[in-house]
Amino acid sequence: MTSFASTGTVDSGRQVHFQAQLLNAVEQAIIATDLAGVVTYWNRCAERLYGWAAEEALGRNILELNIPPEGLPQAEEIMDCLRAGKMWSGDVILRHKDGHSFPVQVTDSPVLDDGGQMVGIVGISMEIGDRVRTLAALTSSEERLRIAQHAGGIGTFEWNIRSGEVMVTEEFCRIWGIGQHTSIRVGAFEEFTHPDDRDLLATSLARPLEDLIGYTEYRIIRQDDRQVRWLARRGEIVRNEAGEPSRVIGAVYDITDRKRAEEQRQLLMQELAHRVKNTLAMVQAISTQTMRSAASLEEAGTIFGERLTALARANDTLLQENWSSASIRVIVEGAIQSHNDHGRIHCSGPDIRLGPKAALALSLALHELCTNAAKYGALSMETGQVEITWHVAGDKDAALFRFRWQESGGPPVKAPERKGFGSRLIERSLAGSFGGQAGIRYEPTGIVWSIETPLSALQEPSSG
């Protein structure tokens, strides 16, 4: 078939007609103007796209036809670029005959005659509303995904095994503390990971890939603040047509708070076991000594119950402080409460924190002192008084804690011929535990019990 454009026998009229039909058949709007912007050609797609018939458009300035008022400055810049002999391509907002605007992709080029002189401008344009809406929806979807990932603290990645590039998200970068990246070389992750956990990386050669991409927990060293953080990772292998791994897609999230909570729970369970063990040992000792020294089973039951009450009261005080320490003032006031209904026990001293072991021992010792004073000592007579004082001498590591119980106004006192469990507890409870000096003196005016021990020893947490 002979082309109209290649034969010299076809008249110019038929050739122009063919060219017009050819331009009308394409699916893009084609518009030609002179250098002043006056329309010289307007194909059928331009009629459909902009709403102007060719007869209406020909001879009119293009700026009047499809340029909205707000787009005139940009249109003038484009015309200046074209008149300078340069091509221009981009997305613009143009106007339909009925007044509505829509996005259009435009490519404009200068038209030159046979002598290379610029004689006009030709433009090809196509409506891109669907593409813009698709991109907008995609952008919105990506933004929602980004927000969701940030809210959930989940970072995602895609590792191209062949190229070694790992595509990462904004939240992924934040979790690892590596600044904003879209891709990272796979070898960099070994540097970011805790040395003891590098064999757990999906890129590790220590184990098959299939064994590594499942749920894994490992530590990283954040690059911005050098914090050690725990991460959890889940991944899936994507295989090529040959069934070989080509990509790994997965997610990571920070589980540091959970790991710390687990460690705390473990410590608490160990501490609880230790507390129960010590408490049971103390109850067993109290029971054995009470039964051994009591005159009758009924007396043993009463004394044992009172001692357990004192122990429980001290435990309650410690529980309110999560078993970390207790105020000496609270311990003293709790121990003497049931014996001080007439206000004959007087306390003074600074508020000092005692460790759990010291708090329990002091509470039990005060219970025995109060019980003995009520039965045989100062509190057995209406004129009797008890002075409880304590203070700290020295500073820091050299600080000494001194505690004194002194009775007065009671019956004459003499040393007992046989010391029971209560007396031994009073004498040894703190001194035996912390290496201090303690003693009870049976002075004629009343019992005096005193103790001197390093303050640091009283404030130490109990040990197993």
pLDDT tens string 195-233: 888 887 766 555 667 766 778 888 989 888 889 999 888
- Binning pLDDT at 50, 70 and 90, where does residue 9 land? very low
What are the tens digits of pLDDT across the range 313-344?
A: 666 666 665 556 788 898 888 888 877 878 89
Predicted confidence at residue 340, as pLDDT, reads 81
Q: Which long-range contacts (CB under 8 A, 24 or more apart) does 303-309 make?
A: 303/371, 306/367, 306/371, 307/364, 307/367, 308/283
- Binning pLDDT at 50, 70 and 90, where does residue 22 land? low
Kindly list the domain boundaries of the chain, sorted by start residue: 14-127, 133-254, 260-459
The answer to whether 440 and 416 are in contact (CB under 8 A) is no
Strands in 96-215 per DSSP E: 101-112, 118-127, 154-160, 165-168, 183-185
Report which of 300, 305, 306, 429 is spatially closest to residue 360, judged by C-alpha positions: 429
Identify the burial level of 48 via C-beta atoms within 10 angstroms of its C-beta, where 0-12 means exposed, 13-18 middle and 19 or more buried: exposed
3-state secondary structure of 163: coil
Report which of 210, 203, 207, 254 is spatially closest to residue 236, judged by C-alpha positions: 210
The answer to whether 360 and 338 are in contact (CB under 8 A) is no
- Highest-pLDDT range among 201-205, 281-285, 381-385: 381-385
Predicted confidence at residue 4, as pLDDT, reads 32
Looking at per-residue pLDDT, the higher value among 460 and 441 belongs to: 441
Predicted confidence at residue 349, as pLDDT, reads 94
Report the alpha-carbon distance of residue 103 to residue 90 in Å, rounded: 10
Predicted confidence at residue 183, as pLDDT, reads 82
Phi/psi of residue 60, nearest 5 degrees: -105, 155
CATH architecture of 260-459: 2-Layer Sandwich (3.30)
Judge whether residue 64 has pLDDT over 60.
yes
Tokens at 122, concatenated: 């030709």
CATH number of the 133-254 domain: 3.30.450.20
435 conformational bin, left if phi > 0, alpha if psi -120 to 50, beta if neither: left
Q: By mean pLDDT, which of 277-286, 293-302, 454-463 is the weakest?
A: 277-286
CATH number of the 14-127 domain: 3.30.450.20
The helix (H) or strand (E) run that includes residue 137 is: helix 129-152
Predicted confidence at residue 233, as pLDDT, reads 85
Predicted confidence at residue 3, as pLDDT, reads 32
Domains 14-127 and 260-459 alike in fold: no
Report which of 403, 417, 407, 391 is spatially closest to residue 444, judged by C-alpha positions: 407
Predicted confidence at residue 315, as pLDDT, reads 66
- Highest-pLDDT range among 39-53, 131-145, 256-270, 280-294: 39-53
Report the alpha-carbon distance of residue 360 to residue 38 in Å, rounded: 102
Report the alpha-carbon distance of residue 170 to residue 89 in Å, rounded: 32
Residue 123, beta-bridge partner list: 31, 108
Predicted confidence at residue 460, as pLDDT, reads 67
Report the alpha-carbon distance of residue 285 to residue 62 in Å, rounded: 106
- β-strand pairing of 326-327 with 345-348: unpaired
The answer to whether 119 and 112 are in contact (CB under 8 A) is yes
Judge whether residue 389 has pLDDT over 90.
yes
State what percent of residues in the chain have pLDDT above 70: 72
102 conformational bin, left if phi > 0, alpha if psi -120 to 50, beta if neither: beta
Report which of 320, 162, 317, 132 is spatially closest to residue 238, judged by C-alpha positions: 162
Tokens at 289, concatenated: 């000594």
Predicted confidence at residue 2, as pLDDT, reads 31
- Binning pLDDT at 50, 70 and 90, where does residue 387 land? very high
- Binning pLDDT at 50, 70 and 90, where does residue 347 land? very high
339 secondary structure, DSSP code: G
Report the alpha-carbon distance of residue 83 to residue 111 in Å, rounded: 10
- β-strand pairing of 385-393 with 345-348: parallel
Q: Tell me which amino acid residue 15 is.
A: Q
